[in-house]
């Protein structure tokens, strides 16, 4: 478990060290982390403009949540894209659960579904 307090920017072009990729993926200290057990709308290959817009909102909300205090990361494995899978908490709150409760994410059930 890693505890760190940092302000994470939205990722841009170039090297990624500490930034938000989308609503469920971010870089921290050079490690690409995917919040396990949630799915958020796609930004890079959305099925419709509404999905992209929802993905952008989820990305901004994740940035807000991760910038709200100490980040605790409980690593659980690695996915097929070699991202670290983790339960992520900020100030003790499960970030994935917050995103689900607020409508920015849904539980990952193993199937990718469009948000259109």
Report how far residue 50's alpha carbon sits from residue 46's, in angstroms, rounded to the nearest whole number. 8
Mean pLDDT of 93-101: 98
Predicted local distance difference test score (pLDDT) of residue 5: 55
> For residue 17, which of 9, 26, 25, 27 has the smallest C-alpha distance?
27
Domain count, the chain: 1
Domain-located, residue 79: yes
In a domain, 112, yes or no: no
Which domain range does residue 20 map to? 2-105
pLDDT at 2: 55
pLDDT band at 101 (very low <50, low <70, confident <90, very high): very high
pLDDT per residue as tens digits for the range 77-91: 999 999 999 999 999
In a domain, residue 39? The reply is: yes
Structural contact between residues 87 and 108, judged by C-beta atoms closer than 8 angstroms: no
What is the tens place of the pLDDT at every residue in 61-81? Answer: 999 999 988 899 999 999 999
12, part of any domain? yes
The CATH number for 55's domain is: 2.40.50.90
What's the pLDDT at 112?
Answer: 81
Please say whether the beta carbons of 28 and 73 come within 8 A.
Answer: yes
CA distance to 25, 101, 108, 114, per residue, from 28 (Å): 10, 24, 22, 28
pLDDT for res 3: 54
Q: What is the mean pLDDT of the chain?
A: 92
């Amino acid at each position: 478990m890693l505890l760190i307090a940092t302000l994470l920017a939205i990722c841009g072009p170039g090297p990624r060290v500490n930034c938000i990729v989308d609503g469920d993926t971010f870089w921290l200290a050079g490690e690409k982390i995917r919040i396990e057990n949630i799915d958020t709308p796609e930004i890079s290959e959305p099925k419709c403009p509404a999905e992209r817009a929802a993905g952008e909102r989820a990305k901004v909300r994740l940035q807000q949540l991760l910038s709200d205090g100490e980040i605790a990361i409980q690593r659980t494995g690695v996915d097929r894209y070699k991202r670290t899978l983790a339960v992520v908490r900020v100030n003790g709150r499960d970030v994935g659960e917050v995103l689900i409760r607020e409508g920015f994410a849904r539980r990952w059930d193993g199937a990718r579904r469009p948000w259109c």
